[in-house]
Amino acid sequence: MRIRPIASIIVLSCIPVAMPSLCGSPAGIERRIDALLARMTLQEKLGQLSQSTAGYARSDAQLRNDVRAGRWGSVMNVRDAQQRAELQRIALHESRLGIPLIFARDVIHGYRTVFPIPLGQSASWDPELVRKASHIAARETAAEGIHWTFAPMLDIARDPRWGRIAESLGEDPVLASALGAAMVRGLQGDSLDASDAVAACAKHYAGYGAAEGGRDYNTTWIPETLLRDVYLPSFAAAEKAGVATFMTAFNDLNGVPASGNAFLLRQVLRKEWGFDGVVVSDWNAVEEMVNHGYAADSADAAVKSLRAGVDMEMASTDYYDDLPALIAAGKFDVKLVDESVRNILRFKFRLGLFDKPIPAPPPASAMLAPDALDIAQQLATESAVLLRNEGNLLPLSKSIAKVAVIGPLSDSRVDQMGCWVSDGRPGDVHTPLAAIREMLGPDRVAYAPALKNSRDSSQAGFAPALEAARNADVVLLFIGEEQSLSGEARSRASLDLPGAQGQLVEEIAKGGKPVVLIVLAGRPLTFSKAAADARAVLYAWHPGTMGGPAIASLLFGNAVPSGKLTVSFPRTVGQVPIYYNHMNTGRPARGASAHISEKVAPEGDTSRYIDIDYGPEYPFGYGLSYTTFQYSNLKLSSASVAKGGALTVSAHVTNSGRWPADEVVQLYTRQLSASLTRPVRELKGFQRVMLKPGETKTVQFKLSAAILAFHNERGELVSEPGMFQVWVAPDSARGVRGEFRVVD
Ligand code: BGC
């Protein structure tokens, strides 16, 4: 073993008690970076800009040699804590400059404790609970010696065909901003170098969710006004919350790949938002600029990407392979390399990696702790959205004589975890079947999967399921999408229930027993016929480790549904893209808007379909409860507000039913005329309110004129005077309405 030279120990080590200002302070860190940069060779610098993945065409021995040579700044997907500790020991003690590695991993919705998929989490509309879940994910991840996760995904998703909608926080920028910032705070905790924190990564910057046709990686065209109003706010919010890193997206945006996009990276991110962290490319995205037709070859890709501001190249190795010759030939300025090395070293100092001891493998108790499982169950409970409950079939009585649990997703541990689960283990998962058996006792539960998985098109397993249904008082039918149908590269052109699930619902319904559909899926599905065949529908997403107990507690009334949709559910895929914050058009469909010029008759040729209703099956913000809520008495603190001012909007919300329950109260506005057309509704605030039966609460929102601002044609954020409508509402299609004016 080679021992690190004494000189580098002096440069790199820090004795905080003796020299506090020289060590952790921003100036102290910059000085330590200066000292390192002065000693680094070009190869060592380019090594810092490179991220590798363990096990990917690289043997363990090769990886150890690479690390010893300072070949990588970061390594992802290292097998286990022991291997990470060994690699870090080599980096710190056997590489020439002793620069530590950053270990990265995709921890998207939990490490060992798997929380609902992000789209499910978003349906909770509960930033504090989401923060807590992310913090538990960070605690489990950090215990394993991992420093950096590639989450949250902040791409606005208006297209359920896109498989990565599962990883998104929905279609609305205000909600995604609040939840994304909560995730950043949860992951990063109070300080990046804390033992229960990991660095977060705002991805995929930017526009990735607008892939044409919903096909993953596809081209995006987003005018700057829309980009700034809808697609960028969630990233800006993450930056404000202190996110340590950003990841560029795979897509080209208005003709320029995101990984070579100086407008996004230098102009908006660095200059306008003041970001001083690290930008990493997505996997191979630097090299893929050749495929985009934006770079002639890998050298051109390296130049364009680094010039645009991508500090670290993930997976492809264009920086390392091609920049030395260009720099030697005077065709590339090494200053840009230094700038990115500085960003990466700063990140390592902030993570405390230079001064942290190499962690010991974590005790087993670090995983799946009781509080982790509690939060996982709570979040799965709050995420589930009750879409239908005819005749108040739900909740079911616990003294029910017999239930039939049917369907391919009633006892599928893997599918319940959802996409992007690298470290969750099926053995940890509590399924609905197990939870219902536990609640009722096994004798009162008949079980028949009917289909092998959600894609199974054979009806061979129907007979025992029909038999179980016949002998039961209620059928609990678990259908939807298995885990592998959503996530990266899992776009679908059809949103229908896969396989023979539609027929299964139909056949079961024919038996006449009340049917509850519990849908587990990574995206909105189109299933009107199946929903109509059922008396109740609970949309549970992929709910994670504790999904089973959460669903059972909702079905049997130990908990009351409170989730609300964060994406519009289409009736058919032909309506896509469909989103609530659309423009009015000059010929809005009847009922689409209360704002129609009196001089233009609303009848006749309007923006609708001739074969189906123009509206969604279930609108954004929608979700039922076991109780009912009434909205009334909307009040504004004044009829007008000056541009710099604010007003208060309040309304009464009454629990008019029999269950104590939470309601997610939503605030929407609409500007009726402006220099650019404005959406028919925009979410401006929300609150989760708990109400006892019969209770009325006055729910108040502060509405500042600044929140009403939008980006004009020149890309400037402006607050324009004019008339506004405002709603305090249970969803994006209803609510109590008022009006006010913004004045100069
Ligand atoms: C995905 C990223 C992910 C990365 C590393 C890419 O294919 O787009 O979201 O973080 O791989 O696994």
As given in the structure block, the two tokens for residue 512 are 């006449």
In angstroms, the CA 482 to CA 487 distance is 11
> Three-class SS of residue 83?
helix
502: CA distance to ligand 1 center in Å?
A: 33
Other beta carbons less than 10 A from residue 503's beta carbon: 16
Give, using CA atoms, the residue closest to atom 7 of ligand 1.
283
- Out of 282, 419, 421, mutate this one to test ligand 1's pocket (max ligand atoms within 8 Å of CB): namely 282
The answer to whether the beta carbons of residues 136 and 102 sit under 8 Å apart is no
* C-beta 527 within 6 A of ligand 1: no
Bridge pairing between strands 74-76 and 629-636: unpaired
Name 300's Cβ contacts closer than 8 Å, sequence gap at least 6: 289, 290
CA distances from 104 to 150, 200, 381, 406 (A): 8, 10, 30, 40
CA distances from 443 to 68, 403, 412, 446, 515 (A): 61, 10, 21, 8, 20
* C-beta 374 within 6 A of ligand 1: no
pLDDT at position 3: 36
In angstroms, the CA 97 to CA 345 distance is 12
* C-beta 139 within 6 A of ligand 1: no
∠ CA 655-375-618 to the nearest 5 degrees?
A: 50
- Single-letter amino acid code for the residue at 275: F
pLDDT at position 6: 34
282 is catalytic: yes
69: CA distance to ligand 1 center in Å?
A: 26
- Splitting the chain (744 residues) into consecutive groups of 10 residues, what average pLDDT does each group show? 36 42 77 97 98 84 96 95 95 97 98 98 99 98 97 98 98 98 98 97 98 98 98 98 98 98 98 98 98 98 98 98 98 98 98 87 91 98 98 98 98 98 98 98 98 98 98 98 98 98 98 98 98 98 98 98 98 98 92 66 79 95 98 98 94 98 98 97 98 98 94 94 97 98 95
As given in the structure block, the two tokens for residue 132 are 């807590």
pLDDT at position 20: 40
Q: How many CA atoms lie within 13 A of 250 on its CB side?
A: 15
What atom in ligand 1 is closest to the CA of residue 77?
Answer: 12
pLDDT at position 669: 98
CA distances from 490 to 197, 301, 487, 664 (A): 31, 27, 5, 31
56: CA distance to ligand 1 center in Å?
A: 14
DSSP 522: S
In angstroms, the CA 120 to CA 544 distance is 10
- HEC letters along 455-466: CCCCCCCHHHHH
> Which one of 282, 318, 423, 662 is the catalytic residue?
282
- HEC letters along 529-540: HHHHHCCEEEEC
As given in the structure block, the two tokens for residue 97 are 């400059």
